[in-house]
Amino acid sequence: MTVTSPPRRPEIEKDRDLEQRVAELEALIEEARRRALRRRRRNGAAALLVAAAGVAAFIGFGGHGGGGKGAAATARAPGSQSPAAISESPPLGALPPHAGSAVAIAFDRRSPQTVYVMTSGHVYKTTDGGSHWHATATIGNGWMGTNVTLTADPRHPGTLYAGTGSAVYKTVDGGSNWRPSNRGLFERPRPTFPEGTPGTRWFNRGKGWVIALAVDPTKTNVVYAGSDRVSKSSDGGHSWKTVFPPHSRRYSRRNVSALAIAPTRPEAIYAITGDFADGRTSIYRSTDAGTTWHATTSVRGTNAYGFATALAVDPRHPATVYAAIGANVLKTTNAGKTWQRIGDGLPYATGHPGGGVNALAIDPRRTGTVYAALTQGGIYKTTNGGQTWTRTIYSNAYVYAVAVDPARPATIYAAGAGAFPEPRILRSTTSGHTWATAP
């Protein structure tokens, strides 16, 4: 498939600027509402009017932001302008010092104050919007393997799936109990290369590595897992069968590093696979719930094993998909028939060795608004579908994940590497204009 570069526009259209300011208005109104609830005031409506008036003044004359208070630091995006009221966001609590790097985030869609963060060791949970975190039952007997990925059932609160180095774990009670399953998930152990080849080592596919997970938003018992293949469960994770590649008689050198489902067209599934042998990374698509697959495009000179990859499907436009493969950021608006290179303004989109976009997250209510978490450099945002990107917060540490709260899109969480003193948890309640960070 062809990859074309779109012409650059000389400037952002005025309607995009207006849309951005409307987003700021909505974010401030949301903050005012939260403060009113926390303080149990009876004049919540008046608080909203005050916030709206503040934004009106901001749009007309420009505002100036202030720093936050509490245990977490509040950072303002470089070059951004924001009223001082933003600094009163709920405090962001720190993870335990031994928690390890934070690598994945999941939301409870019916309880916006409940958020889950996966670290390299455990899964932590907050029920107060990030002020306090406590470990779920991933600490204790029965939990095995290194944590890699986490996703939530969009229809059943408290149901989550965690991909680890030993199995896919599932909880139906918000993390109080987890049950592992790997039946049919992997084949028997095989050598990575033919026996006798220098560097041969055995990789136990009975314990495997689940790198990506995706839940069908309409039939939530259907779950897809990415490892050296795509596996599908039709019974809520109890058993699995391989759907890609359909018949593998030899050890596969593919690595499925990202999966995404079109929310409004769940039979459409996308997967990024890397080939260890030739360093080629491909984007595959299935239009029949994983029965058949075909390649839509390939990027040479990198592979998904060792390079950052990410996928995100626009919730309102299922034919629009964003993909990151190492230093390449791609976009399709026709379900993969053609892809365009985007990334003007992303520092690693120009070819930083080993760098790239670790995660992508789309605002479910504003088409064209996308957040990108970089290997190094922080979090970037576009409001015009990737034509231009601006940095919302800088970080020296790796940022492994970014996620938009589906119930309150002005709230964004990100997860980082946690090398002291860099943050492991980042949260914005203002669509990325200001951030609270915690180690």
pLDDT digits (tens, 9 = 90+) for 67-88: 333 345 556 555 443 333 334 5
Which residues make Cβ contacts (< 8 Å) with residue 113, sequence separation at least 6? 126, 127, 128, 129
The answer to whether the CB of 86 falls within 8 A of the CB of 431 is no
What pLDDT is recorded for position 274?
83
Confidence of residue 54 (pLDDT cuts 50, 70, 90): very low
30: Cα within 13 Å, side-chain hemisphere: 19
- Region 345-352: mean pLDDT is 66
Are β-strands 3-4 and 339-342 bridged in parallel, bridged antiparallel, or unpaired?
Answer: parallel
Q: Which helix (H) or strand (E) holds 19?
A: helix 14-38
Given a contact cutoff of 8 angstroms between Cβ atoms, the answer to whether 369 and 363 are in contact is yes
End-to-end CA distance of the chain: 43
pLDDT (mean) for 116-144: 86
- pLDDT > 90: percent of the chain: 47
In this prediction, residue 289 carries a pLDDT of 96
Query: What's the mean pLDDT when you consider all of the chain?
Result: 77
431: left (phi over 0), alpha (psi -120 to 50) or beta: left
- Of 282, 289, 311, the C-alpha closest to 241 is 289
In CATH, what number does 96-438 get?
A: 2.130.10.10
6 vs 156 pLDDT, higher one: 156
pLDDT for the residue 410? 96
Residue with tokens 């909505």: 26
Higher pLDDT, 218 or 147: 218
Give how far Cα 166 sits from Cα of 157, 226, 359, Å.
25, 13, 23
Cis peptide bond upstream of 423, omega within 30: no
- Provide the edge-to-edge strand list for the sheet that holds 357-362: 357-362, 370-374, 379-382, 390-393
Question: Partners of 149 in the beta sheet?
Answer: 163
- Domain boundaries of the chain, sorted by first residue: 96-438
Question: What is the 3 state secondary structure string of 216-277?
Answer: CCCCCCCEEEECCCEEEECCCCCCCEEEECCCCCCCCCEEEEEEEEECCEEEEEEEEEEECC
Read off the pLDDT of residues 281-293 as tens digits, 9 standing for 90 and up. Answer: 899 999 999 999 9
Specify the pLDDT at position 192. 53
Q: What is the pLDDT of residue 208?
A: 60
- Segment 157-163 shows an average pLDDT of 95
- In whole angstroms, give the CA distance from residue 115 to residue 129: 7
Residue 320, pLDDT score: 97
Which among 393, 386, 396 is positioned nearest to 417, based on CA atoms?
396
**Rounded to 5°, angle at Cα 259 from 255 and 264:** 160
Pinpoint the alpha helices (H) of 39-78.
44-61
Q: Mean of the pLDDT values across residues 164-185? A: 91
Rg of the chain over Cα atoms, rounded to whole angstroms, equals: 22
CA angle at residue 277 from 274 to 282, to 5 degrees? 25
| Whole-number pLDDT of residue 18 | 52
Q: What is the pLDDT of residue 47?
A: 38
pTM as predicted: 0.78
Q: How far is CA 213 from CA 144, 172, 374, 382, in A?
A: 18, 16, 20, 25
Calculate mean pLDDT across residues 243-254. Answer: 63
Over the stretch 226-238, which tens digit does the pLDDT of each residue have? 988 899 999 999 9
Under DSSP, the state recorded for 86 is: G
Q: Look at residues 13, 19, 3 and name the one whose alpha carbon lies nearest to residue 367.
A: 19
Tokens 């974010």 label which residue?
Answer: 27
Confidence of residue 388 (pLDDT cuts 50, 70, 90): very high
Please check the confidence at residue 197 and state whether its pLDDT lies above 70: no
Q: Are 371 and 360 spatial neighbours (Cβ–Cβ below 8 Å)?
A: yes
Exposed e or buried b per residue across 410-433, where buried means at least 16 C-beta atoms within 10 angstroms of its C-beta: bbbbbbbbbeeeebbbbbbbbbbb
| 344: exposed, middle or buried (Cβ count in 10 Å: 0-12, 13-18, 19+) | middle
pLDDT value of position 55:
33
pLDDT reported for residue 209: 80
Q: What span, in angstroms and rounded, lies between the C-alpha atoms of 123 and 137?
A: 8
State pLDDT tens for residues 418-428.
Answer: 665 677 899 99
- Per-residue pLDDT of 315-342, as tens digits, reads 999 999 999 988 789 999 999 999 999 9
340 touches 4 (CB < 8 A): yes
The better pLDDT of the pair 304, 137 is held by 137
How far apart CA 261 and CA 277 sit, in angstroms, is 28
